[in-house]
Amino acid sequence: DTLWDLAIAEVEKRENPDDDDVKPGEVWEKSILFMGNKNGGKTTIILRCLEREESPKPTLALEYTFGRRARRHNTPKDVAHFWELGGGTSLVELIRIPITSHNVRSFAVVLVLDLSKPNELWTTMESLLGATRSHVNKILTKLEKTNPEVAAEIKQRMWNHLQRDHPDYALVDPFPIPLVIIGSKYDIFHEFDSEIRKIISKTLRFVSHYYGASLVFTSKSEALLLKARALINHLAFGYDKSKSVSVDPSKTLFIPAGLDSMSQIGPPPASDSDLGKMRANTPLELWKKVFEKTFPPKSFCDLQDTKDPAQDSQYAEYEVDVMRAQKNQ
């Protein structure tokens, strides 16, 4: 082999790692994109997952950090790349940067929804998941031409959490890459009226089950953060999946993907006469209409209060700032 052949082989090996059977001594690499409501607690969750004791700063645009863990003594450390999309739904086109055809096989998404703001919940979820799904689908269409085996494997893996004989097999529409939905600020949500809590919990259970996602509620409490961490560590480092399930609306929900069912969730929380009047083409559309009847979506614009990052003290660089001031002058 010439040096070029070896280089090409090395690059191909890096771009198509075979995650499922990582050989001893090989490094496992995964990427996770965190997105969701503005000030919803994404940074706090990432810092807890990486066991960093620093206080969270507001995220501007798209931020990157990483974590490393050794599976066993004297083995190379596995790497997890953590991306975080700031600005709520205003910068959604930036998801194209971290999710590419090279890493889509080892990519996962964590959607953090602020339970204390139910009127923003559906809009945030719909716009972020919709944009991510259409971007991943474009990548898959491209891969079907260039690397059909990988595209077929990703499509097959979407259904892994649900057995073919599951009664909901025909009723769900799994997300193309692994998805975890985290309901944050449970401490505030817990003070809500029990009926309101029930509607939000039931709706999020439906959405998670429909997308083949795991669902967990969390707050700043250590015990609840541990549950969220378990799900994220499973995505990031392949740790064992928790088999415990909690579906009681009076407690925090914890439902790993594939362990819920439509029959347990029940119908959308509305009277039969209301349901009869609602025209919807898909179950998801029906749930949306029922949810937005109770929580009309706020027309909110995330861009209005986005500060100029150039003026942000956490990005100060003396030489650059002096030149900039000179230029402005």
Provide the residue ranges of all domains of the chain, joining segments of one domain with +: 25-328
Name every residue whose Cβ is closer than 8 Å to that of residue 242 and which is 6 or more positions away in sequence. 227, 230, 231, 234, 254, 256
- 40, with CB counted inside 10 A (0-12, 13-18, 19+), is buried
Best CA proximity match to 89, nearest among 123, 42, 133, 63: 123
| pTM of the model as a whole | 0.78
- Kindly report, residue by residue over 117-168, the tens digit of the pLDDT: 888 888 888 888 888 888 888 888 888 888 888 888 888 887 777 777 777 7
State how far the Cα of 293 lies from the Cα of 297, in Å rounded to an integer. Answer: 9
Residue 111 belongs to what H/E stretch? strand 107-114
Q: Which phi and psi angles does 77 have, rounded to 5°? A: -80, 140
pLDDT at 117: 87
- Residues 25-328: name the CATH superfamily: P-loop containing nucleotide triphosphate hydrolases (3.40.50.300)
Phi-psi group of 74: left, alpha or beta (phi > 0 → left; psi -120 to 50 → alpha; rest → beta): left
Residue 127's CB is within 10 A of a number of other CB atoms, namely 14
State how far the Cα of 230 lies from the Cα of 51, in Å rounded to an integer. Answer: 13
The β-bridge relationship of strands 77-85 and 62-70 is antiparallel
**DSSP alpha helices (H): ranges in 214-265?**
222-237, 262-265
The whole-number mean pLDDT for each consecutive block of 10 residues of the chain, a chain of 329 residues, reads 82 61 60 85 77 72 82 74 81 82 84 87 88 88 83 80 73 84 87 86 88 85 76 76 75 79 80 72 83 78 57 81 90
C-alpha 328, offset from chain centre: 40
pLDDT at 305: 53
Kindly state the DSSP code that residue 116 receives in the 8-state scheme: T
C-alpha 51, offset from chain centre: 19
Paired with 83 in beta bridges are: 33, 64
